[in-house]
Chain A
Amino acid sequence: MIRFILRRILQTIPVLWAVATLTFFMLRLAPGGPFADERAVSPEVQKALEAHYGLDKPLIAQYGEYLFNLIQGDLGPSFKYPGRTVNEIIQIKFPKSMELGIYSMSIALVFGLTLGVIASLKPNSFLDYVPSSLSMVGICLPTFVLGPLLVLVFALKLKWFPYPGWDGPAYKVLPSATLGFFYAAYIARLTRGGMREVLTQDYIRTARAKGAAAHTVILRHALRGGILPVVSFMGPAFAGLVAGSFVIETIFNIPGLGKDFVTSAFNRDYTMVLGLVVFFAALIVVFNTIVDVVQVWLNPKLKLE
């Protein structure tokens, strides 16, 4: 397993390099620069700004310099926020996004798995229709509708929760629930599908024939195979969740990283965009590796090597 993980880490390097390179050059192709403003700056100031951030050097030299710094883990200064580095911004904001991601994923798993399993037990019955329609509603109801709706009911009308911000536990309930329900809907459908398939397998019939209790069959024998689709979904989903959500952060004004993915591109904050893309790529690789390990653990038919 150690060997597997080491190999994965080695494979990551060319992936990150490719991502960084592509992003670097694509960014420079975009019209408009980081220093363009409503009030046009004089050519002298423009030149001095470019000199300060090294944008006056040939592109290939800038690229070389960027890669050199990247290897040392230095993502450079933010163009938009003088006085802050990209590393610093990620360090401050990522924990908040991660916290939100963990809460939402927990809610998603608890509700999604429960509903999915219930729905799978008696297909095309009332016990299937209710959870299945619920999850359909969850998928169709985008977070930018559900979020304001929850705020309206539970913050503005009932006054149960403070809003907006990220100041304490009470602030975190509504955003986590909004995001959690959305993912719960997906997980419920994946679980139902996975479970349906597993429940028709021979080994389940064998387990039943041997007289195992119904709940043992479901929770110990079937669930292990039934949640495999959920596990593969979890890798990229969790990476996406912890990296922050633009919509949720905007609705609830949460100081997470999700907003920066969008705004840094609008601002042409070259270093910030690059830093975030590389960081996100690394996150995806990490979570996919974890997912692979978990899948092997759950499914004896698979091997890591």
Chain B
Amino acid sequence: MKLFVFSALVGFLFIPTGCGPTETKVQRGNREQVLHLSNGSEPESIDPHIVTGVPEHNVISALTEGLVTEDPVDLHPVPGMAESWDISEDGNVYTFRLRDNAKWTNGESVTAQDFVRSFQRILTPSLASKYAYMLFLMKNAEPYNKGELKDFSQVGARAIDDQTLEITLNNAAPYFLSLLNHYTWFPVHLPTVEKYGNADDRGNPWTKAGNFVSNGPFRLKEWRISDVMIVEKNPDYWDANTVRLREIHFYPIESIETQDRAFRNGGTHNTYEMIPAKIEQYQKESPELVHIDPYLGSYFYRINTQKKPFDDVRVRRALAMAVDRESIVKNVTRGGQMPGNYFTPPNTAGYTTTARIPTDLEQAKKLLAEAGYPEGKGFPKASIIFNTNESHRAIASAIQEMWRKHLNIEVELINQEWKVYLDSQRNGDYFLSRAGWIGDYVDPNSFMDMWTSWSQQNQTGWSTDVYDELIAQAGKTGDAEQRLEYFQQAEEILMAEAPIIPIYIYTRVYLLDPAVKNWNPTILDHHPYKHLYLESN
């Protein structure tokens, strides 16, 4: 009945608005090389020195290019703004030669000074860049960012001439070139920034459409807040011949249900995420749309080692051993995740750990008894905190049940609102806490240095000198094989001491229209836009 009434209304509204659209955005996009992307949330900003998120990365990587850029298949560094580079024998000094035809969207040349000034800007303490530490590999970058060093000329970035840039590192780092693809290393056009305010003012409106100057394969055309961000092909880009897309429209669609409906209705070429309950159905009905890509991230629980009974390594190991990871990925997450008895995702820049925390119920029971809780008797009431989210709850419930069944211990589940959860974790106000870590760059260091005593990200209260020393050694050695060996040893310690319970290795699960070509599964979920094109079958 209601629908009947509605049809009457629709009929009424339909006449003045004319016919409904016959061609969807995606269909028209395919004809006109306009890519419509679901991009999660609204970008906080497009200033590469300010932002921290993934949706921001997706937009910035279309607009801006660093010294190197990424191979579309395996993301290895290929020439970007720099056409070539030399590495000193000890691996500490990189000399980049910038291209003649590297241009800003305002027509000016991209110079070595632009890079030096950009590095200086992001490291300026008053800019308060959350990600400035990504540059700490560079000589004296850290003391400058902390305000201990005032003279920027002592920092390891120097413009030898307009087109030659020299970067000096603290130690040789084999992942340095890959790291350059992190947006914190991207250049900004300082004269433009300064035109609209102070370079160290976070609120500087230089990022608005019309003000923004960049150097990437695309340029900013329009930014309608919470609606769409439109970038168009940049004709002055040095490699413009490769760029086949005419425009990309980034839509901030946060709800996964809305993403799903938008995709089905031809509003977007992809979904940003996928409703877990629908994965199987899609795989059955339209497998060509479903993408399950390996992703450089680890899902785990932090254990607060400062709180009893978790100060006892036997208790921590017992808990970690009583988690059936196979069952979690098969029955709970169901998105092709890999069960993780280790922390660093396998094959990260040639590193696959041999360390394991086994799933071993007998051993777990034994350890718990040794720690003074035979059959779970007398085990104090503990809890798992997680940020409010259905998937986190489902995983926590599964683990709660496993511990109850196998170890006879009770843990309580506490969901907390996001910021409250962050606060609890930060202040050590928890027993067990759900966490996830996505690598910033493809190197084991991105996963291992967070467990050192000096890392802000540790938050477990756990540290050992041996571990710290191994990570420090790995940072210093010039021998690539030796370096991986240090990481192996470090991860062995991490698994043996178990300040964390690794659970699974992430995948990226999403839908993608088959018309999008050259879109490859990459471990960082980067899909260099300049190689993409659209072709409907």
Contacts and interface: CB of A to CB of B under 8 A. Distances in A.
Interface of A: 30-33, 35-42, 44-45, 48-49, 51-52, 77, 80-85, 89, 92-93, 107, 111, 130, 134, 137-138, 148, 150-156, 159-166, 169-170, 173, 177, 181, 250-253, 255, 259, 266-268
B406 interface: no
Contacts of A40: 426, 456-457, 459
A186 to B, nearest CB: 15
Choose among A40, A80, A84, A259 the residue with the greatest number of B CB atoms under 10 Å from its CB.
A40
B14 interface: yes
A137 B2 CA distance: 9
A92 B130 CA distance: 28
A150 B1 contact: no
Interface stretch (B262-270, B316-324, B356-364, B491-499): B262-270
Given A48-B126, A161-B20, A151 B261 contact: yes
Nearest to A180: B9
Contact of B20 (A31, A44, A83, A160): A160
Contact of B258 (A134, A173, A253): A253
A75 B8 CA distance: 45
B452 to A, nearest CB: 14
B267 A266 contact: no
B118 to A, nearest CB: 17
Contacts of A130: 1
Nearest to A252: B258
B130 A255 contact: no
Contacts of A164: 253, 258, 261-262, 265, 267
Contacts of B225: 84, 89, 92-93, 255
Contact of A251 (B42, B203, B255): B255
Contact of A93 (B47, B226, B228): B226
B145 A44 contact: yes
B96 to A, nearest CB: 28
B267 A48 contact: no
A159 B21 CA distance: 8
Contacts of B257: 148, 251
A113 to B, nearest CB: 14
Nearest to A257: B226
Contacts of B221: none
B459 A156 contact: no
Interface in B1-46: 1-3, 5-6, 9-10, 13-14, 17, 20-21, 24-25, 42, 44-45
B128 interface: yes
Given A38-B422, A155-B265, A83 B203 contact: yes
Contact of A31 (B52, B251, B420): B420
Contacts of A153: 3
Given A39-B130, A93-B226, A162 B419 contact: no
A39 B457 contact: yes
A33 B225 CA distance: 24
A52 B262 contact: no
Choose among B44, B146, B459 the residue with the greatest number of A CB atoms under 10 Å from its CB.
B44
B261 A162 contact: no
Nearest to A152: B261
B17 A162 contact: no
B147 interface: yes
A83 B261 contact: no
29 contacts: A31-B419, A32-B420, A33-B419, A38-B436, A40-B456, A41-B130, A77-B203, A82-B44, A82-B45, A82-B203, A83-B47, A83-B207, A83-B208, A84-B225, A107-B9, A111-B5, A137-B2, A151-B261, A151-B265, A154-B10, A162-B21, A163-B267, A170-B21, A250-B258, A251-B257, A253-B255, A253-B258, A255-B227, A267-B419
